[in-house]
Structure formats: structure tokens, C-alpha cells
Amino acid sequence: MTWDFIVIGGGIAGTSAGARVSESGSVLLLEAESALAYHTSGRSAALYEANYGHPVTVALNKASREAHETLDGGVLSPRGLMLLGGPGQEAEAEADIASMALRPIPLEEARARVPILDTSHVTRAAFHDEAWDLDTDRMVQHFARTIRSNGGQVRTGATATAISRDGQIWRVTTSDGADHTARVLLNAAGAWADSVAVLAGLPPLGLQPLRRSIARMPAPGQHDVSGWPMLIGAGESWYAKPDAGAWLVSPAEEHPVPEPHDAFADDMVLAEGIARYQPFVTEEVTRVTSSWAGLRTFAPDRCLVLGPDPLCPDFVWVAGQGGYGFQTAPAASQLVADLIAGRAPALPVDIVAALRPDRLRSGLSAAV
């Protein structure tokens, strides 16, 4: 069988785009790992905050709000966001307050919301309740079910080992030796997206995977943290948030990696991040129960890459999410489907232009 669409990658980018295009054609989704959302999608901080990110990303965040409220009965639950600044961080704190539209609050209010705050160190606090936890697993499973219910297939343990083009048809060979053919190929391979392009005979876009680590620890002071907001250090120097009764702390680092891989946390980087977090709270971190890392992959301009490649319009990019994949998935996947179908997108023209791969292909000739 020749499919209308083959999607390479089973994270939030691939499942959401696959679900959208399954409304207009047959879809085969191929995921290299044994489960969907194994890599960065499965290691997300799982927060929806519309004003977080590059202005172009913010436009996608905001355009996704309604879908997050209604998808599968709604995938948002209240969390809130609190920014904390310490000595010497006044400029960073003010910039963050402005960019995320936060409300400055007295330190007494900050301490009332999060009783472990050390107000002898905190010099600036700001808050808003326009931040929600995202049920990331429900999102991925919803989109996978949509693909299947529209007659498509989702296959795990299927690494793309070779990609070729015969006339107008793509041929993808997978690790089990099977060949799969399709009219359109969607590249949603996350940190491996440039590698997939090269496999398909196209030049890479210069996507850069950046490692971000996170540590899980017992709730500070045995507090019930379920109602606490997410905390962010000014300048995104660290963040912390509740997670199923425990407490997560991240250094919020962006460490370039030379090649995509199954990422793991760097103990030294975690220790440095915890050291930046520690002065803001009265409860000492004494034990880390687990840690992990993900690769947040960015284009050179830090905007997502969405749509047909100008060198080969039947090769479609769904990449460069940079850690904003879940926040942007509804609007990003709709844009991809619209561009494939030749429909006018709902997003403003300048936003669409800032997302299309054309911006990264200047001066190149068709390669496929």
C-alpha cells in the first residue's frame, strides 16, 4: 500500500501533525523507540504558559489555547507561575515580568503561596495564574487514537534506515527490513530531524539540540506542594514545580550536544542548578530521587520549522519545537496541515513566514 503520508517521529510533533493530516488522507506514523513520546516529549515540564518563548512561539501558544481547553475534554489544570529574583537580578526580573505579563507581588504574598521561600534572599517576586499543567500523555494518546480512528497506523520500534524517492513517491525502509511508500513525508524526528533530511537527500537546516536536565526530589519539608505554583528564577536561571506529590528542580540549562542521543542528566550541571535554586528557599535539598534530561532542538533563529521544504514540497518539516512542542501542538499541527493542503492559514502572514523552512533555505537549489 502507498500511504498519502508517512510521519517519521512519534513525539508530540509527529502525533499531532499525523492526526491533522489523517483527516484528509491515509497516515503511517513510524517511531524508532518502543513507545511514543520516548525522548523529549516524554521528559517535558508539562506547562502551558502562553507568554513563554519567542514572540513567534507565543503566537502559536495563544492560538493553541482553545484546543487545550477542549481537546479530549480539556488537558489543562491550574498551576500558576511565580518569578523570583535575588540580589543582582533586578534587570532580568524586570525583563521577565514584562515579557510574561506577570503581576509584581509583595514578598509576604509570595511566602503565603510558597511557604518555603526565604524572603531574606528574594528581592523581587511576581505572579500570575495564567499557567496550567498540561496532561501530556493524554495529548499524545489522543492524537495517536485520531490517526488510528481515521484508518491510519502507528508503528513503534520502526527506525527509518533508508529514504529514497522514486518519481513522486517516497520509499522509507525501516529497521525490520520493511519498505513503506507515501506521497508526502513529514519529518517530525525531533533532535534527529536534520539527520532524517540528510537521509532523504536534502541538506540539513542547522538544527541544534540543547540538553536540559531535571532532578526529582521529595516534597520540601514534607509540605503538600500540590497547590504551589511553578517557580522560575529570574533570567530562567532555574525552575521548580510540583509533580505528583514530589518536587522538580531544573538548572534550565541549554547545553549544545554534537549529536542527538538518548540524553541523560549531567550530575555537575544538576548540582550547579540546585545551588542556584537553594538560596531562594529555606528547606535544604538533601536527596535527589531521580534525574533525567531531554534535548530541546532549535533552529538558528529559535523559531519552529513548519511546512513543506522549498527544495522538495513533498518533504514537510515539523521540527525545531525547542521545548515548546506541547504548548504549540494544536496550532502548529493545523498550520502544517493547511500548508500541505494549500489552504490559507488562520495565523497572521508574518507569523507563517517566520515558521516556514523557506527562511532557512535562501540561495539553495532543489536537491531531490
* Domains by residue range for the chain, with CATH: 2-45+136-206+301-360 (3.50.50.60), 81-128+208-296 (3.30.9.10)
**φ/ψ (deg, to 5) at 241:** -160, 155
Q: Where are the alpha helices (DSSP H) in 188-266?
A: 193-199
Which long-range contacts (C-beta less than 8 Å, at least 24 apart) are formed by 158-167? 158/30, 158/31, 158/32, 159/30, 159/32, 160/8, 160/30, 160/32, 160/196, 160/199, 162/199, 163/196, 163/199, 163/200, 163/201, 164/201, 165/200, 165/201, 165/312, 165/368
- pLDDT tens profile 5-24: 999 999 999 999 999 999 99
Report d(CA 310, CA 19) in Å as an integer.
23
Residue 55 cell numbers, joined:
514572540
Choose among 94, 98, 74: nearest CA to 85.
94
Report d(CA 172, CA 31) in Å as an integer.
12
In sequence order, the β-bridge partners of residue 230 are: 81
Q: Which residue's entry shows cell 487545550?
A: 68
The answer to whether residue 337 scores a pLDDT higher than 60 is yes
The answer to whether residue 140 scores a pLDDT higher than 90 is yes
Let me know the angle formed at the C-alpha of 301 by 143 and 98, rounded to the nearest 5 degrees: 85
Residue 186 cell numbers, joined:
513529514
The answer to whether residue 365 scores a pLDDT higher than 70 is no
Half-sphere exposure of 284 (CA within 13 A, CB side): 1
- pLDDT tens profile 164-214: 999 999 999 999 999 999 999 999 999 999 999 999 999 999 999 999 999
Q: Where are the alpha helices (DSSP H) in the chain?
A: 12-21, 55-70, 90-99, 107-113, 136-149, 193-199, 267-277, 325-341, 349-355
- pLDDT tens profile 86-106: 999 999 999 999 999 999 999
Backbone dihedral region for residue 177 (phi beyond 0: left; psi -120 to 50: alpha; all else: beta):
left
